[in-house]
Amino acid sequence: MQQRETERLVLVTRSLIVERRVAPNRAARMLVENNQGVTADDLQLALLETALFLEEMYDQTVRGEWNDWLRIDFWARVSTKAEDRSAGTTGLLITKTELYRAISLIAIDVIRIRRQGQQTVTGKDLLDFWRDNDSEYFRSESQKPISE
């Protein structure tokens, strides 16, 4: 894929998740729906670039909350109670975790599609796979059952 197209996908993904605050699974679905001809690898790259951007945001925010960021044990940092964290770091932590989850689930689906003999997987292939395999995580709002 051309560099410009990759950059466009990254900007679209960042805009959805960071600026518009769309949930990562919905943002991933929207990205796939709007780029059906793009390879799944390129779509995943855009999601990963956004996750790395969130990592940087999180690191900058947390450094302000921890005086000895580099000296504090990793497990002490990650096991800190949510109420001891600021709303900003908690929101970033949840968002980046969900984004990594979405990326992982897409990667698994791509592997499943490739095992069926298809080497190049596109956004359309993912949508078809999700439709046929009832991927509730990536289901669009119009596909979700109405609760009684």
pLDDT tens for the 148 residues of the chain, in order: 578 888 999 999 999 998 898 999 999 999 999 999 999 999 999 999 999 998 888 777 766 555 555 555 555 555 555 444 444 566 778 888 899 999 999 999 999 999 999 999 999 999 999 999 877 888 766 555 444 3
What pLDDT is attached to residue 55?
A: 86
For residue 74, being part of any structural domain is answered with: yes
For residue 23, being part of any structural domain is answered with: yes
Task: Provide the domain limits for residue 77.
Answer: 3-140
**Crossing angle for the helix pair 123-133 and 40-65, nearest 10 degrees?**
90
What pLDDT is attached to residue 28?
A: 94
Centroid of chain to Cα 92: 12
Q: Do residues 96 and 89 touch, judged by C-beta distance below 8 A?
A: no
Amino acid at 132: D
Q: Do residues 24 and 93 touch, judged by C-beta distance below 8 A?
A: no
Helix, strand, or coil here: 55? helix
For residue 20, being part of any structural domain is answered with: yes
For residue 46, being part of any structural domain is answered with: yes
Q: Do residues 32 and 127 touch, judged by C-beta distance below 8 A?
A: yes
For residue 51, being part of any structural domain is answered with: yes
For residue 147, being part of any structural domain is answered with: no
For residue 18, being part of any structural domain is answered with: yes
Helix, strand, or coil here: 81? coil
For residue 148, being part of any structural domain is answered with: no
Q: Do residues 110 and 40 touch, judged by C-beta distance below 8 A?
A: yes
Q: What is the pTM of this model?
A: 0.77
Distances (CA, A) of 26 to 2, 51, 89: 25, 15, 21
What pLDDT is attached to residue 46?
A: 94
Domain count, the chain: 1
